[in-house]
């Protein structure tokens, strides 16, 4: 019998759902094995009944609940709690769900500051009051899922690689709880590392790295950090390359920015990166800002109002 | 007794919105509102960030169209820093953007819109979805999945990462295209072009004629339009001048650097999302469907309305046929589906032109950049509409101010109006069923918000 699955997106961009669609033909195989009972991007199941007359959010019971996105407003919270009540296993899909993701950069600001800018841009008409009618009120912060509900499986990634989405679904169908290994992007990076101590100052990514001919293999390119570019591979969970392993930024000869979140679930990418740089003898003041080191993992109270640029 | 129907969430769209329809004592529509529920605040939290990092941050605004945010953002950063991108870098950026346009249209047509047409608007929601379509037409569904996957894999291979890309960089593109890759991609893109022509032919033969009555009434409103054209007046999604067209077909053309003179954004009490309107018409803003003010629409139908022509032969032939049938500007909301498939043809024709250009494999793809103070307005046509990223930087090249007008938002007012029109036409004397409510949502889905 098909396994019942419910899926929700909260403070999310739909990239995680696209990574499910990007399973390609594997998606058709998955659709044979699962029965979606709720998934707003594909299925017209409604919160308040199909005729819209209910009073409370209602999601059907399911074995597996997949949630992408962080929790930003009261409706997200209500939906997350309903998913938890109705699903036996909750998967946090994507780095927004596991660590806040990019939208948690908002945690550096109070809601008032966010609203003040958004409703006072150069193109926006003057208003006396900000919108509030029939729309969910913002929470004080952007929360990762596990700050509000219990999470059983973490599948970070921005976006998660379709290979891992498939492996996780296949694992669950076989009765296993999938988990990404606690390895770093550097552990899977094929570039050449020659040793510490040569780079003192970091350069911003304003020029191409050195790598020889255009078709020179990635494993002949020198480590981008050793070339003097900030690369967050050492403090970032491995997996972005999927089954092909080579990290996706590195494959494009672009440095890692940490999109799978910290290597250990409760790690702090900012502190770990500053430590890594300092222990390599690199002047951390050569970084133009520090907050960006938490750009994918600012939930769990790591980013707070007042954390604007260099105040770590 | 008066009551409120809450259609929540609106489904098979990309984003978070709900509809509240208020019925009066007699069960007729007294009022309807579309609530846009998301507010993330990118305009604020990119402040202070190094500008060259921002194209890798703002792509997270949308997981369906990250390439377009990525490109508009890179253009704005290049302008802030005063750098000229080498021709091959520019062409690779356009190639990625145009392929993602094509891929997106397959996704919308087959995964999101088709269930209403293939299974029928009144079918049970348990089968009125892509899974139902896959069971009803397995060969077609498999083909659509394969073709879309092929396009995504070209993006992945060329750029390293297809969702939330990092391939466009300050001053150009991350790495050159190899000749072997060019030769590998060309036949694949030709196959995608064939599939886009097949899809449009299929829709014109099997889908649109069946629903012509619905097309003529569902969600119909009368508005202006916005889109981008090249120097010859042909539709261009990568860049050019903007045109804002009035409902009567007259238009102004302008440089996007001056967009604040032409576009304003209104705020309503019931939506986080703002409502862009044509400030240049000097008539203010009103969502009243009988007397709208400042309202124009964006996305594919708008683009083919404002363009004089299509720059590629198959797409031009399709535009001529479309225009002969529906005029210019075409106003019927469900024609978005048709226009989208014409753009799909253009996307792959343009991708072939780019891949056949010998300059695209030139190894000079990135200029060295110096951070500095400046201002830049980057604009592309995202699948969902004209996308504007406007940044200022300080002398360290950190963002000091940002304003974003995102493609979908141009259509927030029109969607609200189309929903009201559909609700008023379909709900009479308290008679409401699932099919009626789904048809109201179809008026939303046409815009692919």
Residues in chain B with CB shorter than 8 Å from the CB of A43 are 11-12, 125, 129, 131
pLDDT of A311 strictly over 60: no
pLDDT of res. A245: 80
pLDDT in tens, A21-68: 999 889 888 888 899 999 999 999 999 999 999 999 999 999 999 999
What does the block give as tokens for A291?
Answer: 């907050």
Cβ neighbours of residue A243 closer than 8 Å, sequence gap 6 or more: A163
Are the CB atoms for B245 and B317 separated by under 8 Å?
no
Q: Is A28 on the interface with B (CB under 8 A)?
A: yes
Mean pLDDT score of chain B:
96
Shortest distance, CA A224 to any CA of chain B (angstroms): 13
Are the CB atoms for A108 and A304 separated by under 8 Å?
yes
Count of structural domains within chain B: 1
> Between residues A224 and A245, which one has the greater pLDDT?
A224
| Chain-chain contact of B142 with A28 (C-beta, under 8 angstroms) | yes
Domain that holds residue A291: 182-312
- The distance from CA B431 to its chain's CA centroid, rounded to whole angstroms, is 34
| Chain-chain contact of A254 with B169 (C-beta, under 8 angstroms) | yes
Evaluate whether residue B54 is within a structural domain: no
| Chain-chain contact of A52 with B5 (C-beta, under 8 angstroms) | yes
Residues A126 and A186 in one domain: no
Evaluate whether residue B59 is within a structural domain: no
What does the block give as tokens for B103?
Answer: 């891929």
pLDDT in tens, B69-83: 999 999 999 999 999
pLDDT of res. A310: 60
| Chain-chain contact of A118 with B43 (C-beta, under 8 angstroms) | yes
Picking from A147, A173, A199, the residue at the C-terminal end of a domain is A173
Picking from A127, A151, A173, the residue at the C-terminal end of a domain is A173
pLDDT in tens, B230-260: 999 999 999 999 999 999 999 999 999 999 9
Are the CB atoms for B65 and B104 separated by under 8 Å?
yes
Evaluate whether residue B11 is within a structural domain: yes
Shortest distance, CA A176 to any CA of chain B (angstroms): 25
Residues A47 and A134 in one domain: yes
Cβ neighbours of residue A217 closer than 8 Å, sequence gap 6 or more: none
Count of structural domains within chain A: 2
What does the block give as tokens for B169?
Answer: 């960089």
Chain B segment 144-183 residues within 8 A of A by beta carbon are 145-146, 148-149, 152, 159-164, 166-167, 169-171, 174-176, 178, 180
pLDDT of res. A177: 82
Domain that holds residue B14: 3-36
Residues A202 and A269 in one domain: yes
Chain A segment 252-311 residues within 8 A of B by beta carbon are 252-254, 257, 259, 288-289, 291-292, 295, 308-309
- Give B333's pLDDT tier (boundaries 50, 70, 90): very high
**Residue A10: CATH number of its domain:** 3.40.50.700
Average pLDDT of the segment spanning A69-82: 98
Average pLDDT of the segment spanning B328-339: 97
Are the CB atoms for B44 and A109 separated by under 8 Å?
yes
Evaluate whether residue B337 is within a structural domain: no
Shortest distance, CA A41 to any CA of chain B (angstroms): 4
| Chain-chain contact of B274 with A257 (C-beta, under 8 angstroms) | no
pLDDT of res. A298: 97
pLDDT in tens, B92-112: 999 999 999 999 999 999 999
Evaluate whether residue B15 is within a structural domain: yes
Q: How far apart are the first and last CA of chain B?
A: 33
- Beta-sheet strand order (sheet of B17-23): B3-7, B17-23, B29-36
CA A113/CA A23 separation, integer angstroms? 40
Residues A156 and A215 in one domain: no
Residues A190 and A239 in one domain: yes
pLDDT of A187 strictly over 90: yes
Shortest distance, CA B217 to any CA of chain A (angstroms): 23
| Chain-chain contact of A46 with B8 (C-beta, under 8 angstroms) | yes
Nearest residue on chain B to A38, judged by CA atoms? Answer: B126
pLDDT of res. B430: 92
Of B61, B129, B264, the CB nearest to A125: B264
What's the pTM value of the predicted model, to 2 decimals?
A: 0.97
| Chain-chain contact of B163 with A214 (C-beta, under 8 angstroms) | no
Residues in chain A with CB shorter than 8 Å from the CB of B57 are 102, 105, 295
Residues in chain B with CB shorter than 8 Å from the CB of A133 are 269-270
pLDDT of A312 strictly over 70: no
Shortest distance, CA B321 to any CA of chain A (angstroms): 32
CA B68/CA B447 separation, integer angstroms? 17
Average pLDDT of the segment spanning A195-212: 90
Are the CB atoms for B404 and B286 separated by under 8 Å?
no
Residues A152 and A206 in one domain: no
pLDDT of res. B316: 98
pLDDT in tens, B15-63: 899 999 999 999 999 999 999 999 999 999 999 999 999 999 999 999 9
């Amino acid at each position: 019998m098909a396994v019942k699955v419910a899926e929700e997106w909260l403070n999310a961009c739909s990239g995680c759902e696209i990574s499910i669609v990007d399973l390609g033909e594997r998606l058709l195989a998955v659709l044979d094995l699962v029965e979606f009972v709720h998934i707003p991007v594909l299925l017209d199941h409604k919160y308040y009944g199909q005729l819209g007359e209910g009073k409370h959010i209602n999601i059907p019971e399911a074995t597996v609940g997949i949630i992408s996105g962080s929790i930003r407003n009261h409706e997200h919270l209500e939906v997350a709690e309903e998913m938890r009540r109705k699903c036996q296993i909750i998967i946090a899909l994507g780095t927004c769900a596991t660590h806040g993701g990019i939208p948690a950069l908002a945690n550096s600001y109070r809601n008032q500051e966010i609203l003040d800018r958004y409703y006072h841009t150069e193109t926006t008409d003057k208003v006396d009051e900000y919108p509030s009618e029939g729309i969910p009120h913002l929470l004080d912060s952007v929360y990762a899922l596990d700050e509000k509900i219990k999470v059983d499986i973490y599948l970070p990634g921005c976006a998660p690689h379709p290979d891992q989405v498939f492996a996780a679904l296949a694992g669950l169908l076989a009765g296993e709880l999938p988990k990404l290994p606690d390895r770093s992007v550097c552990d899977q990076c094929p570039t050449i590392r020659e040793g510490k101590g040569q780079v003192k100052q970091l350069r911003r990514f304003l020029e191409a790295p050195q790598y020889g001919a255009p078709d020179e293999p990635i494993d002949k390119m020198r480590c981008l950090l050793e070339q003097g570019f900030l690369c967050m591979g050492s403090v970032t969970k491995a997996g972005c390359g999927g089954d092909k392993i080579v990290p996706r930024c590195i494959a494009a000869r672009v440095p890692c920015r940490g999109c799978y979140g910290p290597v250990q679930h409760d790690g702090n990418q900012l502190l770990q990166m500053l430590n890594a740089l300092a222990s390599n003898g690199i002047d951390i003041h050569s970084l133009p800002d520090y907050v960006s080191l938490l750009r994918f993992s600012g939930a769990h109270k790591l980013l707070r109002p007042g954390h604007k640029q260099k105040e770590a | 007794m008066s009551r409120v129907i809450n259609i929540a969430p609106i489904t098979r769209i990309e984003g978070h919105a709900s509809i509240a329809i208020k019925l009066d004592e007699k069960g007729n529509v007294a009022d309807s509102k579309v609530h846009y529920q998301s507010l993330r605040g990118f305009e604020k939290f990119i402040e202070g960030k190094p500008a060259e990092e921002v194209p890798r941050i703002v792509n997270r605004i949308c997981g369906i169209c990250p390439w377009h945010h990525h490109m508009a953002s890179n253009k704005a950063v290049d302008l802030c820093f005063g750098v000229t991108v080498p021709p091959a870098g520019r062409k690779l950026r356009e190639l990625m953007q145009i392929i993602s346009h094509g891929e997106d249209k397959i996704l919308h047509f087959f995964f999101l819109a088709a269930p209403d047409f293939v299974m029928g608007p009144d079918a049970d929601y348990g089968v009125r979805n892509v899974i139902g379509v896959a069971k009803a037409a397995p060969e077609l569904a498999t083909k659509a999945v394969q073709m879309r996957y092929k396009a995504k894999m070209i993006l992945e291979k060329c750029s390293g990462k297809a969702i939330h890309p990092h391939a466009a960089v300050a001053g150009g593109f991350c790495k050159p295209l190899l000749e072997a890759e060019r030769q590998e991609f060309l036949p694949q893109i030709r196959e995608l072009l064939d599939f886009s022509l097949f899809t449009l032919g299929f829709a014109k033969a099997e889908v649109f004629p069946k629903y012509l009555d619905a097309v003529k009434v569902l969600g119909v409103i009368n508005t202006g339009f916005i889109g981008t054209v090249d120097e010859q007046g042909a539709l261009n999604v990568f860049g050019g001048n903007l045109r804002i067209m009035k409902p009567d077909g007259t238009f102004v053309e302008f440089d996007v650097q001056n967009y604040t003179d032409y576009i304003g954004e209104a705020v309503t009490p019931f939506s986080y999302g703002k409502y862009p309107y044509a400030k240049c018409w000097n008539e203010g803003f009103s969502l009243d469907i009988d007397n709208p003010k400042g309202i124009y629409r964006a996305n594919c139908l708008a683009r083919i309305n404002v363009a004089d022509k299509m720059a590629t032969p198959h797409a031009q032939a399709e535009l001529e046929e479309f225009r002969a049938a529906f005029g210019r500007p075409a106003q019927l909301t469900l024609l978005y589906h048709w226009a989208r498939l014409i753009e799909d043809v253009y996307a792959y024709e343009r991708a072939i032109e780019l891949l056949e250009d010998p300059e695209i494999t030139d190894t000079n793809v990135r200029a060295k950049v110096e951070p500095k103070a400046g201002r830049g307005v980057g604009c592309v046509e995202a699948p969902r509409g004209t996308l504007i990223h406007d940044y200022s930087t300080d002398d360290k090249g950190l963002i000091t101010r940002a304003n974003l007008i995102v493609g979908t938002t141009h259509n927030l007012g029109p969607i609200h109006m189309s929903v009201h029109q559909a609700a008023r036409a379909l709900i009479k004397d308290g008679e409401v069923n699932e099919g009626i409510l789904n048809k109201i949502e179809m008026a939303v889905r046409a815009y692919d918000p």
